[in-house]
Structure 1
Amino acid sequence: MPEASATAGTLEPWRDPQARPYVRIEGVTKRFGEFTAVDDVSLDIFRSELFALLGASGCGKTTLLRMLAGFERPTSGRILIDDQDVTAMPPYERPVNMMFQSYALFPHMSVEQNVAFGLKQDSVPKAELKARVGEALELVQLGPWARRKPHQLSGGQRQRVALARALVKRPKLLLLDEPLAALDKKLREKTQFELMNIQDEVGVTFVVVTHDQEEAMTLSTRMAVMDRGRVMQVGTPSEVYEFPSTRFTADFIGSINVFEGRVRSIDGDLVVVESPQFGGELEVASQARVAQGQTVWVAVRPEKISIAPRGEGGAKEGRRRNAADGVVQDIAYLGDTSVFRVDIGNGTLIEVTQTNLFRSIERPIDWDARVTLSWTANVGLILSE
């Protein structure tokens, strides 16, 4: 993985060995009877981060969020927020607020009454309450809708009311459980950027739970990919996508082609893998610690693969390293891109993504076309687990 730049520590505190985590989760395990929902998880989250917990349903991400909020207590391990051990602290004493997936707005209250509710419970003076509610509504651009009831608002507006209600109490840590799941695709994409801008403006540390890969990659400074209660990898979106550490992470984040094989030779950083699944040899520029004869998996993202009608571009017939001839079995036209599934024999399908650079209703490559696929050694990955 590329080294961090000399100035990265100021913008990326997780790369600075002197930086102190704002939230520290130390060896946290949560069991419900014999079922382990969260299994020995340790994470450091830094001040003003927008950190995502990403995983499929049942992976433990929401249970971990609920332990941060204080709704669940760890079976073992501890949780610190701003150097304070909050493991046994009840929710109402924690410097934390939570925005629920359902938004949980009071239907009989107006927008401003919903936002003010928590402050009233805390007996905040009337003048301060009014000022803080006004600031929160302006922050989420809902000032003109202050007197409306939730049923008079769109889904995106209700989401922003819930966010304003969470932020108005000025928590040190804001927890968001699938905050955009109820929105349609276009509104969700728009709201993601609004949420990022608001987080940047208020500077509160956000922890977001989501099962949506695109959402996690768009929103987060870093993410933790979870599976069966364990953290599989932590990193920036680009690190997790471009340098997955396991087959699970590689397969979970985006689309990827994976070929099993054995290491045939190692020459410096150049590793040659013999793969019956691919039907030939794969060449990978990698610093992975592997040994000759070891079973490994070579992973290649669909957008890294070139596709051309067979015989074009000087391609030769037959199987070469990182190249294969095949037949287009399926095509998915997505507007900006097209996805091809190419049968290269041996029951192996390779997925290729191609950007549609030109406007045309005719495809240069169509169903049943005979094509050649190829890629360079530096775009592949070697995974050993």
Structure 2
Amino acid sequence: MVQPIRKTTLDPWQDPKEEPYVRIEKVTKKFGDFVAVDDVSLNIYRKEFFSLLGGSGSGKTTLLRMLAGFETPTEGRIFIDGVDMTGVPPYARPVNMMFQSYALFPHMSVEQNVAFGLKQDHVPKDETRRRVAEVLDLVQLGPFAKRRPHQLSGGQRQRVALARSLVKRPKLLLLDEPLSALDKRLRERTAFELVNIQEQVGVTFVMVTHDQEEAMTMSSRIAVMNTGWIAQVGTPAQVYEYPGSRFVAGFIGDVNLFEGIVVEEEPDHILVRSDEVACDLYISHGAVVPRGAKVAVAIRPEKMSVSKEGAAGPGTRNAVVGTVREIAYLGQFSTYLVALDTGKTVRVTMPNTNRAAEMPITWEDRVVVSWRPLAGVVLTQ
């Protein structure tokens, strides 16, 4: 997915005057001897679309449930809009949650489903009708108000669930894998719709997802979680382009990791010697890493190129020779698996500017894999 250009110009997390809207302070959650969330501290700002991203068992859903009040922290505190919510029950929090299953009432119409929470809160009928009509127009479901859930598509049911969550005007909306039930094309379109709706209503969204593309597409920032702790927090571009660890580099997208030793460290560059590629890796930006340190250099496949032209020999930097073992043609780009002479396999992704019949590189070709000095990121963890 392509990340949409967000309309906001100010990044609140970089503004020292901005107070966090959600503040999670040293929160730990244990189930018996199992630690599901481990000493997590996190700030989320007003009107953010914030994502908790991780695999199964990473703690992301448990953290979301503690925000909602369905679970109580074993240690630590949670604040929403400056108020300590640690012991506040779910119904008393300024929070609503959109569940993965949508949980629509099959015997009720769309407008009845959306109005259900307002009726439970004894909101006057006239105001209920007005607010339901407003939110159905917002999610573009006004003409479907009288339909039942079984008469809607998956994407429409997802928007009904969103409308039901928004109609109560929560300060914070929690989304648990909101797009998981949709097919790929509908998921992508709905992701853009969610971002646009969130920007219109100005509600702070916190989303749990295991899907990297989903998080990259929709989020202002992402917290990558691993076995109960937060591995890295940043914008989608920061997390992808500058991963802070081997785990993050491997979890977000595809990556080539080359182990080596720092042989030269200067303010404007680092030189890493790696037996895995039989060449020196020149990175044209500095890092606080002493000479002799063992590191990994992460390079994204799309930042490498493969060519039959040229040569790489002793002393060559950022270029190595290998043999093409596999090619995956994926329409707009192709992925090449190149076995280097050292035994290391490198993944290279290149755009298909020519038709498949005109592809100059094929299986078992001897090729040179190369990359620019800016492509690499030095990892110490």
TM-score, normalised by the number of residues in structure 2: 0.96
- 1:113 corresponds to which residue? 112
| Residue identity opposite 1:368 in structure 2 | E
**SS of aligned partner of 1:288:** coil
C-alpha distance in 2, partners of 1:204/1:228? 29
CA distance 1:111–1:40, shift in 2 (3 Å): same
- 2:67 corresponds to which residue? 68
Structure 1 unaligned segments of length 5 or more: list them. Answer: 1-7
Indicate conservation of the 8 Å contact 1:59/1:228, yes or no: yes
User: Identity percentage over the alignment?
Assistant: 63
Indicate conservation of the 8 Å contact 1:217/1:237, yes or no: yes
- 2:353 corresponds to which residue? 357
Alignment of 1:258-273 (within 5 A): 258-273=257-272
- 1:147 corresponds to which residue? 146
Deviations 1:158-192, CA, capped at 9 Å, x for gaps: 00000000000000000000000000000000000
C-alpha distance in 1, partners of 2:72/2:157? 30
The CA deviation at 1:362 is 3.5
**SS of aligned partner of 1:331:** strand
- 1:172 corresponds to which residue? 171
| Residue identity opposite 1:127 in structure 2 | D
- 1:342 corresponds to which residue? 338
**SS of aligned partner of 1:254:** coil
Deviations 1:79-113, CA, capped at 9 Å, x for gaps: 00000111100000000000000000011111111
C-alpha distance in 1, partners of 2:312/2:44? 51
CA distance 1:151–1:181, shift in 2 (3 Å): same
The CA deviation at 1:317 is 4.8
C-alpha distance in 1, partners of 2:204/2:251? 26
**SS of aligned partner of 1:103:** coil
Indicate conservation of the 8 Å contact 1:318/1:325, yes or no: no
Note the aligned Cα RMSD (angstroms): 1.4
- 1:373 corresponds to which residue? 369
**SS of aligned partner of 2:42:** strand
- 1:3 corresponds to which residue? none
The CA deviation at 1:350 is 0.6
The CA deviation at 1:315 is 3.5
- 2:97 corresponds to which residue? 98
C-alpha distance in 2, partners of 1:158/1:150? 6
Question: Greater shift after overlay, 106-115 or 361-370?
Answer: 361-370
Matched, 1:221 2:217: no
- 1:209 corresponds to which residue? 208
| Residue identity opposite 2:45 in structure 1 | F
Structure 2 unaligned segments of length 5 or more: list them. Answer: 1-6
| Residue identity opposite 1:377 in structure 2 | P
C-alpha distance in 2, partners of 1:358/1:205? 44
Indicate conservation of the 8 Å contact 1:329/1:367, yes or no: yes
**SS of aligned partner of 2:100:** coil
**SS of aligned partner of 2:173:** strand
The CA deviation at 1:264 is 1.3
**SS of aligned partner of 1:379:** coil
- 1:43 corresponds to which residue? 42
The CA deviation at 1:356 is 1.2
| Residue identity opposite 1:335 in structure 2 | G
C-alpha distance in 1, partners of 2:362/2:313? 20
| Residue identity opposite 2:61 in structure 1 | T
Deviations 1:49-85, CA, capped at 9 Å, x for gaps: 0000000011000000000000000001000000011
The CA deviation at 1:357 is 1.9
